[in-house]
Structure 1
Amino acid sequence: MMKKILLLSLAFLSMQQLIAQEDTLVNSYEKKNEVKLNGVMLLIGAFEVAYEQNLNNDSSAGISVFIPFDREVFNDELNFYVSPYYRVYFSKKYAAGFFVEGFGMFSSMKIEEYYYAPNGAFSSYSEENYSDFALGLGVGGKWVTKRGIVFELVGGVGRNLFNTDATDISIVGKFGFNLGYRF
């Protein structure tokens, strides 16, 4: 009789342990912080990293930093940008699925101009740095594995608000395939 009670108790405790492990796997989706790296930008010559905090089931806020390292691709024009964003998710999953994003983008650009005399000889050169701020909208999708790996497709378009005459850049874009980790 004592053996039956002991075995029954062990079986009950084992079931409790299994249920607790299942709960921790489900709750791993609901972690608050994410770090991500944009794989598309790495391929074309820039480093873009993002940090995002999940505010609740339906929204998150984050910031991304973009720094080009291949100057041939970016024509020495874009020095960097910093882009805060806010997302609203339209899914039953915790901070995942289809989303709409509003973003700001503070950017620094270097504009180089070469001047030539009428006979074609080099006359002078000027270089000026400009800063601008853009507002924009984006859409995307986010998928999260049970282990916290994040896959994300995102694209957006915005408009510079200040130095568009000096830089001839009025429309800005954000796009990428981000890989990251939720913790």
Structure 2
Amino acid sequence: MKKKLLQLIILLAFYSVNAQSETDATPYQKKNEIKLNLIAPLSGAFEAGFERYLNKKSSLGISAFIVYDHTKDKDMNYFISPYYRYYFGKKYASGFFAEGFGMFTSIDGKKIYAADNLTFTENKDVYDLALGAGLGWKLVTRKGFVFEANAAYGKLVFNADKTDHDQVIKLGLSIGYRF
């Protein structure tokens, strides 16, 4: 009887030590992250994002992209893009990842050129949804700072014929903080 009681106490002690180690929150295991895209201002735009980790290997997020300088020949006005990511790294939600995304976007309408082929009129802005996929890589420091590089490609779903292109591209080189 004493031997079985001792075994039970030892088993419960190991279980409580294991449970304690799982609840300690290192910077890698925090659940939220905000980030800014460093490439976007080079093209006259601003992009910010938020990501929420579901577990060690997956997350949900959303990013918003707004063009503030239309002189840089941008067809895109803005987009809001929710996404799902799956991480392949050994550490908590870091390393190489694949993502699937949706995008609500506002794009300039079709350009109709005059006979001189130099002047054009632009149709009204087109609102559309896009679906796509991408790849990337994320590094997380012990203090919770995040460095991320990603590229993604998608296709417009409904109104591609009302604009001059039917695809969207997301490029990012971002810094952020995990909290």
TM-score tier, shorter chain, comes to: 0.7 to 0.9
* Inter-partner Cα distance in structure 2 for 1:165 and 1:127: 12
Render the CA deviation track for 1:127-166: whole Å, top value 9, x for unaligned: 3121111110100000000111000000011111111111
Count residues with an aligned counterpart.
156
SS of the equivalent of 1:162 reads coil
Structure 2: any 5+ residue segments left out of the alignment? 1-22
SS at match of 2:72: coil
Name which one, 1 or 2, has greater alpha-carbon Rg: 1
- C-alpha change, 1:115 and 1:96, in structure 2 (3 Å) is closer
Question: Structure 2 vs 1, CA of residues 114 and 90 (structure 1 numbering), >3 Å: closer, same or farther?
Answer: closer
8 A contact 1:79–1:109 mirrored in 2: yes
Percent identical pairs in the alignment equals: 47
Within 2, Cα distance between the matches of 1:113 and 1:137? Answer: 28
**Can you list the C-alpha shifts for 1:91-141, whole angstroms capped at 9, x where unaligned?**
11001000000001110123264564x6x6xx9945312111111010000
Q: 8 Å contact 1:68–1:74 — kept in the other structure?
A: no
Counterpart of 2:94 in structure 1 is: 96
Once the two structures are superposed, residues 48-88 of structure 1 have per-residue CA deviations (whole angstroms, 9 ceiling, x without a partner) of: 0000001110001100000011211244x322100100000
Q: Is the 8 A contact 2:40 2:46 kept in 1?
A: yes
1:144 and 2:143 are equivalent in the alignment: no
TM-score, normalised on structure 1?
0.78
Within the alignment, does 1:163 sit opposite 2:159 as a pair?
yes
Taking structure 1 as reference, are residues 161 and 124 closer, same or farther at Cα in structure 2, changes over 3 Å only?
A: closer
Q: In the superposition, relative to structure 1, how do residues 128 and 97 fare at CA in structure 2: closer, same or farther (>3 Å)? A: same
| TM-score, normalised via structure 2 length | 0.79
- Name the counterpart of 1:172: 168
When the two chains are superposed, the root-mean-square deviation of aligned CA atoms in Å is 2.2
The code of the aligned residue for 2:67 comes to P
